[in-house]
Amino acid sequence: MLERKGLIRFDNKDATIIGEDIKIGQQAPSFKAHLQDWTYLDILKMTRGKVRIIVSVPSVEMEVCNREISRFNEEAGNLSKVISILIISTDLPYAQKRYCATAGIDQIIVISDHLKTNFGKKYGCLIKEHRVLRNAVFVIDKKYKIIYANYSQNLGDEPDYSEVLETARNAL
């Protein structure tokens, strides 16, 4: 598996990213992850027929990730039911479940890449040294094509929410 340094810093050191970056226009790689009830399944198959916004975050416990998750949860209520918003981190499913209950996250799907880091490796998001995901956002259309891909330059950078949501709406 490809390893790259110098794309992002973690604790003031260059971090190693595992996997290649996803490019707009390519087919979205399938990946398996855990739901909060520990069900392990192919997430793209689970959301078949929908436009997907996939948001990669290091941890639901980080303040900036919390803001990002809350914002996407709030925005989800204003979107077509044909758009699914998925948040993925390497947090354990029971920690995600507790977080969602405490924070009132109920409009989006929060999933875990903790076991095999299948998503992190396939989407170029896994930070090797800390086994967490870097911040990134992808929009995948109903035909499994990547129509938006953005990797944050720094941990803690929030995405351009308007751009992400507009891309998803335009894919309907």
If you average pLDDT over every residue of the chain, what do you get?
96
Catalytic position from the list 33, 65, 76, 149: 65
- Within a domain: 26: yes
**156, pLDDT greater than 90:** no
Q: Check pLDDT > 90 for residue 6.
A: no
Q: Report if residue 71 sits inside a domain.
A: yes
pLDDT digits (tens, 9 = 90+) for 109-146: 999 999 999 999 999 999 999 999 999 999 999 999 99
Looking up residue 118, the CATH number of its domain turns out to be 3.40.30.10
User: What digits encode the pLDDT tens for the residues 25-36?
Assistant: 999 999 999 999
Residue with tokens 């999933």: 111
Task: Classify residue 8: in a domain, yes or no.
Answer: no
* Domain count along the chain: 1
Mapped onto helix, strand or coil, the DSSP state of residue 34 is strand
Rounded to whole angstroms, the Cα distance separating 9 from 46 reads: 33
Q: Is 127 among the domain residues? A: yes
Element (H, E) at 32: strand 32-34
100 tagged catalytic:
no
Mean pLDDT across 7-28: 93
Contact (Cβ atoms closer than 8 angstroms) between residue 148 and residue 141: no
Range of the domain at 119: 15-170
Segment 39-67 shows an average pLDDT of 96
pLDDT of residue 155: 82
Q: Residue 117 contacts by C-beta under 8 Å, 6 or more apart in sequence?
A: 18, 90, 126, 131
